[in-house]
Structure 1
Amino acid sequence: MIPLAGCGRKKLEHSYDIRMGLTRMNAVSVSDVSGKHADGFSKGLALPDAKQAVGADGLTAEAALLVSNEGDDPQVLVSKNPYVRTYPASITKVMTALVCLRHVDDLQQEFTVTQNSKITVSGSSMAYIHPGETLTIEELLYGMLLPSGNDAAVAVAEATAGSVDAFVEMMNETAMEIGATGCHFVNVNGLPDENHYMTPYDIYLTLHAALAYDAFREIVGSVHYDPEYKDANGMPKKQEWTVSNKYMLGEVETPDGLRVLGGKTGTTKAAGYCLTQATEKEATGEEFISTVMKAKTRDDLYANMTMLLEKIH
């Protein structure tokens, strides 16, 4: 778990103005990594009303969003403060994974962990990888997304871009390219910083983009992963990593007829308890993306998420 520590003295008091974001998007040339121009960032994406809550009665979390993830005209089923700036905590790692997958073709490439992966923040969630150990980039992604390793997130960034600073620049560039113009990143793992934030709508856009990669789906859809790699002395080492999503662990009941495909949790004192995930309607195969931000307790988080999922018919 990321430490329950504050994100600085400043409070995120203002909602993001989606009109300002649309203006910014119109001012830039949006393209993917292959150089093909996008048809428009909003094509095939839902656009919640900035002023009016939708189906949010009973939700106690600060913000929430439930969107169908199908077809050219996806629908918003539930919306509460979709453009408010929130601290994303470890949900940040969805963007970290997306940037990696956009730029790394061979996930079996090996990377030797550096001293920069030594995280000293008390209570920080870790994959317990150490400097000098050699893992594949795929294994690092598992270590980042299942046990939410802040150390693994640094390694993913360095393996992708050569440095964390260069990778963070890529995160902010990618956010613009996918239309997530209400967010700003200063690190790769979501450790507390007042200048590091995402709106629920940004989170939806990021998860939507990440789900386009089969490797991402496979990783976040795993409950357990047991990597075998080399330690700093070249000796074999084994680990056991487990996902933190309580639906996937069977600790919270998923509403009938639905299957959680995977996603990411996040927790800090300032962020509260957060979760974004993709869910499938088993009878039809339809997919939905749901996000709950800043619930007061873990129980409240899953109660709010279950309320969202029960809106799927």
Structure 2
Amino acid sequence: MPSPRPPVSSITLDAGSFAVIHQENADLQRPPASLTKLMIAYAAYEQVASGAAAWEMPVTVAAEDVHAVADDETRMGLVPGETVTLGRLLQGMLVVSGNDAALVLARHLHGSQAAYLQHMNALARRLGLGSTWFASVSGITTPRHVSSARDMAVLAGRLLADHPQVLAITAQPAFAHGTFSRSNQNALLADEGVDGLKTGYTRAAGFCLAATARRPIAGHAQPVRLITVVLGSEDREARDARVRRHLASGFAALAGDTVAEA
């Protein structure tokens, strides 16, 4: 018989101070699925900021990266041999979770997936993500590929703090490339103040979401941004309901109110 799935992990942080508002099994190591792509995005932004890359840079799509993506994996519709910009790849990776985009980005920025994984893990150490080890560029189920709700929330917070322009991408409701078109799978984008960040799912990881919202709070001069991460939910609806509940409770707590959490 298959082993039972670990309990759901969740955490809510104040994005400005990284103060923890809520946590449950937040340090439990588990697969992060496509939330992995938040690290790819962070690494790409860092390289562009350093001048080592540019979003307008043309990238030729290698056939092996397209063919490495299984039929049941998400993709942005890349075609072997076509040329796309680095910025376009980032959009396809973040909005529709294109695994093909992740593989092409990794090869272009560091020469190979193996080299990019080394870079991702070095960044994880630098950011203090002590429960995280990346063994997959795209987030597919891979032995030793693990993180935690706390680490993913801290990574999301650093991405927002260092490269807030990412929200212009993660807030996009849909993405199209060639004949491919797909909606953003983050259903919370219709909610008040929600503008990101990343959904994820594999059979091993369950349903995952790193969400962020910015809302005005009584007693605060400026709107407040929160980050909520849920890993390992049993289905998409339960995952979204948990995130909505934790965000509502977090904003209420900052306003001095209380919201009962089931």
Match of residue 131 from structure 2: 182
Matches within 5 A, 1:164-313: 164-211=113-160, 212-227=162-177, 237=178, 239-248=180-189, 250=190, 254=191, 258-283=192-217, 284-311=222-249, 312-313=251-252
Q: Write the deviation string for residues 131-163 of structure 1: whole angstroms up to 9, x where unpaired.
A: 101100000001111111100100111121121
Q: Per residue, is there more helix in 1 or in 2? A: 2
Residues 12 and 307 of structure 1, relative CA distance in 2, 3 Å threshold: closer
Cα RMSD of the aligned pairs, angstroms, is 2.0
User: Aligned equivalents of 1:186 and 1:296: distance in 2?
Assistant: 24
- 2:59 aligned with 1:111: yes
Alpha-carbon shift at residue 282 of structure 1 (Å) = 3.5
Alpha-carbon shift at residue 128 of structure 1 (Å) = 1.1
Give TM-score scaled by structure 1 length: 0.72
Equivalent pairs counted in the alignment come to: 240
* Structure 1 stretches of at least 4 aligned residues deviating more than 4 Å after TM superposition: 9-13
Q: Secondary structure at the match of 1:128?
A: coil
Please tell me the residue identity of whatever aligns with 2:245.
M
Match of residue 78 from structure 1: 22
Contact 1:100 1:157 in 2 (8 A): no
Match of residue 90 from structure 2: 141
Give TM-score scaled by structure 2 length: 0.85
Residues 120 and 10 of structure 1, relative CA distance in 2, 3 Å threshold: farther
User: Aligned equivalents of 1:10 and 1:238: distance in 2?
Assistant: 41
Please tell me the residue identity of whatever aligns with 1:153.
A
Contact 1:12 1:86 in 2 (8 A): no
User: Aligned equivalents of 2:216 and 2:174: distance in 1?
Assistant: 22
Q: Write the deviation string for residues 256-277 of structure 1: whole angstroms up to 9, x where unpaired.
A: xx41021101111111111001
**Mind listing any 5+ residue stretches in structure 2 that lack a counterpart?**
253-262
1:66 to 5, 9, 12: 12
Please tell me the residue identity of whatever aligns with 1:184.
W
Q: Secondary structure at the match of 2:245?
A: helix
User: Aligned equivalents of 1:188 and 1:242: distance in 2?
Assistant: 22
Q: Secondary structure at the match of 1:79?
A: strand
Please tell me the residue identity of whatever aligns with 1:69.
A
Amino-acid identity (%):
25
Contact 2:69 2:100 in 1 (8 A): no
Q: Secondary structure at the match of 2:103?
A: helix
1:159 to 81, 101, 108: 108
Residues 68 and 214 of structure 1, relative CA distance in 2, 3 Å threshold: closer
Q: Write the deviation string for residues 202-227 of structure 1: whole angstroms up to 9, x where unpaired.
A: 10121112112144222112223445
Q: Write the deviation string for residues 180-212 of structure 1: whole angstroms up to 9, x where unpaired.
A: 121101121101112101111110121112112
**Mind listing any 5+ residue stretches in structure 1 that lack a counterpart?**
1-8, 14-60, 228-236
Residues 185 and 285 of structure 1, relative CA distance in 2, 3 Å threshold: same
Please tell me the residue identity of whatever aligns with 1:168.
L
Alpha-carbon shift at residue 308 of structure 1 (Å) = 0.4
